[in-house]
Amino acid sequence: MNQKRIGVLLSGCGVKDGTEIHEAVLTLLALDRAGAVSICMAPDKEKADVVDHVTDKTSHEKRNVLAESARIARGNISNLEQVDANLLDGLIIPGGFGAAKNLCNFATAGEKCVVDPNVATLLRTLHEQNKPIAALCIAPTVLASVFGKDLHPTLTVGNDPDTAAKIEKMGAKHQPVEPTQVVIDTENGFITTPCYMTAESINEIATGTEKAVTALLSLTRVEATV
């Protein structure tokens, strides 16, 4: 059986300054249950900030995005700069503030944000190859920044009005949905779901994530066992 190889783009470890761990783990679980192979990756760069998840205070210490992401991937992770898009069948970006701080700077720059060059290159290459991309939680802002002005994709962050307005200012269209629903832009090959932007339980996260994974796999070229 030819297994689908799906990239999972991480942005650190921990919701406040990195990848949202529940969303990442549920993504990996859904992919494994569907018979796909997860290829975890992250940028090799310093994190934008380090937040104490107990006190919610910013620390002065420095941490590396790749090293922190390796905690979620159990060490089986690739430097984003060295990832060959030709070897992937699709990509999923879990949420967490790391997506808005380390993959781009949406957290501080809003609709004027800039995406990490290696992230933007991977996304554009995958899209040119007609390979689907899924983004969870706040991560659709990365897609809006890269593709908004050219493709005007339809994306969702649930019903968060402030983030939705900024996504539309970047040129994308925002579609409000419930926490467990997904938006599938079949024309552009993008799948988005709100996750913790609006969800109130890990059960809702699991439902939305599984739907996103199922949709992504259905848009890839090689059949997997679901």
pLDDT tens-place string over residues 81-127: 999 999 999 999 999 999 999 999 999 999 999 999 999 999 999 99
pLDDT at 59: 87
pLDDT tens-place string over residues 145-199: 999 999 999 999 999 999 999 999 999 999 999 999 999 999 999 999 999 999 9
Mean of all residue pLDDT scores within the chain? 95
Q: Which residues contact 159 (CB under 8 A, 6 or more apart)?
A: 176, 177, 194, 198
Secondary structure of residue 41 in the 3-state scheme: strand
Amino acid letter, residue 13: C
pLDDT at 221: 74
pTM: 0.95
In the predicted structure, residue 226 carries a pLDDT above the cut 50: no
Q: If we measure between CA atoms, which residue out of 126, 125, 168, 127 comes closest to residue 145?
A: 168
pLDDT at 223: 44
Average pLDDT over residues 25-52: 96
- Band (1; pLDDT cuts 50, 70, 90): low
- Band (79; pLDDT cuts 50, 70, 90): very high
CATH T-level topology, domain 5-218: Rossmann fold (3.40.50)
Higher-pLDDT residue of 223, 148:
148
C-alpha distances out from residue 75 to 30, 41, 42, 53, Å: 19, 10, 12, 22
pLDDT at 225: 39
- Band (74; pLDDT cuts 50, 70, 90): very high
Active site residues: 137
Contact present, 128 and 96 (Cβ < 8 Å): no
- Band (49; pLDDT cuts 50, 70, 90): confident
